[in-house]
């Protein structure tokens, strides 16, 4: 990985900017019970969190068939949107972290496994959309989702940044693996649903308070 300061911070969306992963996990647990794949919350984190909609659909399809996977996906969108509208909040400390990055003149963007439509909804509900508008990238724009590096490399290219000068903020195992594969420094946020041990690894700083992010970036 490259040395020097982090010039571009690439944020995942779900679980890093918006506290949506508990909502998603709860929805998948309910749908698993409904469609015949009983899953605990921990198993949902292991199987689905951090992965693209396509990747999740493929996993469900391999187990239950394509038709069930499609029905599951449709119901997930409905359940997720209802809960987002009712209860979604920004991740604790993220606004302070973004304010600090603005003060330091550090650029940032979003690169998420979620669709643009989903991010407009979640970032819009939490008042964060305008901070990232025009700098939002989705796994729907690349060939392979996380843990492949495609999305992060695409975001860096679009933002005109060298991969070795990028820092990625992620809360999932596929996400930190994608950051490592892209040759970027990885910051694993363990304040959400993924245990710290699943985020730890080479070139990765694991932390639990989003307010600490600017100082961790400075120390990278």
58-85 per-position pLDDT tens digit = 999 999 999 999 999 999 999 999 999 9
Between 53-64 and 66-87, two packed helices, what is the crossing angle to 10 degrees?
Answer: 130
Q: Which of 141, 158, 152 is nearest to 179 (CA)?
A: 152
Average pLDDT, the chain: 95
SS3 161: coil
In 3D space, the residue among 1, 62, 60 whose CA is nearest the CA of residue 31 turns out to be 60
Residue 208 clears pLDDT 70, i.e. is over it: yes
Provide the pLDDT for residue 106. 96
* pLDDT value for 1: 40
Q: Which residue has the tokens 């603005």?
A: 102
Pick from 16, 43, 4: nearest CA to 188: 16
**Lowest-pLDDT range, 3-12, 129-138, 199-208?**
3-12
Tell me: pLDDT of 151 over 90.
Answer: yes
Residue 9 reports pLDDT greater than 80:
yes
pLDDT-derived band at 5 (thresholds 50, 70, 90) equals confident
Mean pLDDT, residues 139-148 taken together: 95
On whether the CB atoms of residues 155 and 10 are closer than 8 A, the answer is yes
CATH architecture of 8-19+89-219: 3-Layer(aba) Sandwich (3.40)
Q: Is the pLDDT reported for residue 215 higher than 90?
A: yes
Q: Is the pLDDT of residue 8 over 70?
A: yes
Residue 133, Cβ neighbours under 10 Å: how many?
A: 11
Contact 9, 169 (CB under 8 A): yes
Q: In angstroms, what CA-CA distances link 107 with 26, 32, 99, 120, 217?
A: 33, 40, 11, 20, 12
Instruction: Provide mean pLDDT across the span 108-123.
Output: 95
Structure tokens at 122: 């979640």
pLDDT of residue 219: 85
Cα separation values, 122 from 27, 31, 53, 176, Å: 16, 21, 16, 22
Does 3 score more than 80 pLDDT? Answer: no
CB atoms within 10 A of CB 77: 16
Q: How confident is the model at residue 166 (pLDDT cuts 50, 70, 90)?
A: very high
pLDDT at residue 4 in the model: 61
Burial class for 103, CB neighbours closer than 10 Å (0-12, 13-18, 19+): exposed
Give this prediction's pTM. 0.92
Asked if residue 64 lies in contact with residue 35, where contact means CB atoms within 8 angstroms, the answer is yes
């Amino acid at each position: 990985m490259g040395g020097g300061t982090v010039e571009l911070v690439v944020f995942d969306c779900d679980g890093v900017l918006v506290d949506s992963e508990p909502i998603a996990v709860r929805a998948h647990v309910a749908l698993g019970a409904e469609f015949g794949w009983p899953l605990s919350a921990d198993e949902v984190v292991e199987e689905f969190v951090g992965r693209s909609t396509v990747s999740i659909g493929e996993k469900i399809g391999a187990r239950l068939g394509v038709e069930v996977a499609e029905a599951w996906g449709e119901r997930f969108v409905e359940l997720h949107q209802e809960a987002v509208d009712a209860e979604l909040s920004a991740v604790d400390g993220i606004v302070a972290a973004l304010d600090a990055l603005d003060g330091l003149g550090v650029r940032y963007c979003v690169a998420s496994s979620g669709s643009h439509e989903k991010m407009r909804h979640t970032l819009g509900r939490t008042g964060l959309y305008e901070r990232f508008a025009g700098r939002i990238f989705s796994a729907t724009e690349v060939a392979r989702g996380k843990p492949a590096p495609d999305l992060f490399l695409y975001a860096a290219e679009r933002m005109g940044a060298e991969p070795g000068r990028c820092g990625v903020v992620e809360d999932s195992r596929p996400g930190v693996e994608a950051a490592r594969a892209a040759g970027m420094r990885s910051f694993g946020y363990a304040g959400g649903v993924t245990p710290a041990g699943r985020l730890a690894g080479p070139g990765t700083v694991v932390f639990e308070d989003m307010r600490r992010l600017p100082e961790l970036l400075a120390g990278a």
